[in-house]
Amino acid sequence: MSSLDPRAPLVLDTRELGRRPGSQREVTLTVPAPADLGIEVLRVPEGSPVALDLRLEAVMEGVLVTGSAQAVLQGECARCLEPISDEFEVRFQELFVYEEHQTPHDEDDEVSTLEKDLLDLEPLLRDAVVLALPFQPLCMDDCPGLCPECGARLADDPDHAHEAAIDPRWAGLAELTNEDD
């Protein structure tokens, strides 16, 4: 097991909370977004502020973390590639089990655990963000995408049209007709 760095922005120290079940603590903090938070087409820019609003609650088995994260998103429209930027909020809840309450199968089940008094919010935040993001972000719900012929963004030019393309089989015939003129 790799040990947690208590100075890492997303590592919380629960010592002040104590271990008496029912004991609670509210924590608000703003941390810089870790790298690669999100999906390829839509992500929280690395280093941008992530505002966390957390409630830590000691329960019998560990510490229950309930909270929300607010951040900005940047990405591009899946249809027209227009840059998108948006604010969003995700909610999450996770039980971090005390080391001595872990059972051997916990590792397989990917149970979140405390390491002494420390807990790492980063995996929780990553999962919550990825689950909340649309797989195909759009600049607007009915984005018409790009023109298949010239790549123009159709939302900027709704009446966009091209001359009907000449069927290549007729192109030779058109030349013949021109020669007759």
**CA–CA separation, 75 and 39 (whole Å):** 9
Tokens of 120: 């790492």
Which residue of 31, 71, 73, 143 would you call a contact of Zn ion, by CB under 5 A? 143
CB-wise, 74 or 112, nearer to Zn ion? 74
Q: In the range 16-75, which residues lie near Zn ion by CB under 5 A?
A: none
Any contact of residue 157 with Zn ion (CB under 5 A)? no
Any contact of residue 146 with Zn ion (CB under 5 A)? no
Q: Provide, rounded to whole angstroms, the least separation between the CB of residue 139 and Zn ion.
A: 3
Which residue of 29, 35, 51, 152 would you call a contact of Zn ion, by CB under 5 A? 152
H-assigned helices in the chain = 122-132, 168-180
Tokens of 29: 């903090």
**CA–CA separation, 149 and 170 (whole Å):** 19
Backbone angles phi, psi at 124, to 5 degrees: -65, -45
Q: Provide, rounded to whole angstroms, the least separation between the CB of residue 140 and Zn ion.
A: 6
Q: Which residues of 90-123 are buried (b: 16+ CB within 10 A; e: fewer)?
A: bebebebbbeeeeeeeeeeeebbbbeebbbbbee
Q: Provide, rounded to whole angstroms, the least separation between the CB of residue 30 and Zn ion.
A: 31
Q: Provide, rounded to whole angstroms, the least separation between the CB of residue 86 and Zn ion.
A: 13
Any contact of residue 139 with Zn ion (CB under 5 A)? yes
Any contact of residue 79 with Zn ion (CB under 5 A)? yes
Q: Which residues bind Zn ion (CB under 5 A)?
A: 77, 79-80, 82, 139, 143, 147, 149-150, 152
